Structure 1
Amino acid sequence: MSRIGKKAVAIPAGVTLTLDGQTVTVKGPKGQLSWTIVDEIELEQSGAELSLKPRADTTRAKAMWGLSRTLVANMVHGVTQGYEETLELVGVGYRAAMKGQALSMQLGFSHEVDVPPPAGITFAVPKQTEIRVAGIDKQLVGEVAARIRRIRPPEPYKGKGVRYAGENVRRKEGKKK
């Protein structure tokens, strides 16, 4: 039995959750998200809670049970509070700035790297060496942050590059004489 799947998803005040077959739509103060749950999972809404149960006792149904519950809970959290990922730029001359809605970074290349925000994502640059990626979709926020990090990942000798806030970069010892 899935310990995560057994928990009911609490729907806070100000959030409306509608079921249309297997499609779950969540509307809140920050926006709207929808997702179609696989057929192996049964949805049941009672008051301000949504519970999920597997229809059969198969391995796939058990696997999708906890995943589906977590994705619905993430949608509820996203439309109420949203998600944010912070990136740090480490290196001499590495800096970021906003160009309209787009993010412009100088990362040691011969040119600036511009990253336009996808729909539903906003960038903020509180300091020249800090980037904040925010949005209501947890997966999209993480994916955009990973794409930005992939432009110049931290290297193991000096630690220069784009890293997540608080990320521990394993350092290597340099060449010896």
Structure 2
Amino acid sequence: MEINERIAKVLEYSGLSPSEFADEIDVQRSNISHITSGRNKPSLDFLIKLKDRFPELQWDWLIYGKGEMIQDKVDTPVVEKPKTTSLPDLFSLIADDNFGITESEDRIANEPPRESEIPLPTSTNEKIFDSQRLAVEEKISSPQHTNNQSSKIKRIVLFFDDGKFESFEP
């Protein structure tokens, strides 16, 4: 019997799932899969962690495959660690009504829309800066304005440096 098969027997003996077993002996979950499949051999650190958690295992059986798996009588007292519960899977979280909603999103959703003050038009004798150019009406020569048609403003949208925007409709 190869060492990967012995590790699989210890996993079966523990009664834990592979992920719970990995958490129990404090190794990465992928280590268990790689070792039991035969892809990798267990390291000395892995074997020591395994023996620390299951002191009733025989070293000769674990390393060489000789003798019995379990000692008849354990000389050292077994210190039982509290069982860790595995994390819930994502599908059980999705069933939660508040899934994906953070407190800040709740606060934002309940706030009324903000309104900013619209600056008054500047007088013609004041100098217009580039940052003020949006507030000044400019004549646009496009085909729809050449027939002296009057257009009405449908919506004004302000874009801010931080990526936010506000929309105003008359």
Q: Bigger relative contact order, structure 1 or 2, given CA contacts below 8 A and separation 6+?
A: 1
- Give the greater-gyration-radius structure (CA): 2
**TM bracket (short chain):** under 0.3
Taking structure 1 as the reference length, the TM-score comes to 0.23
Which has the larger share of helix? Answer: 2
Structure with more of its chain in strand, by fraction: 1
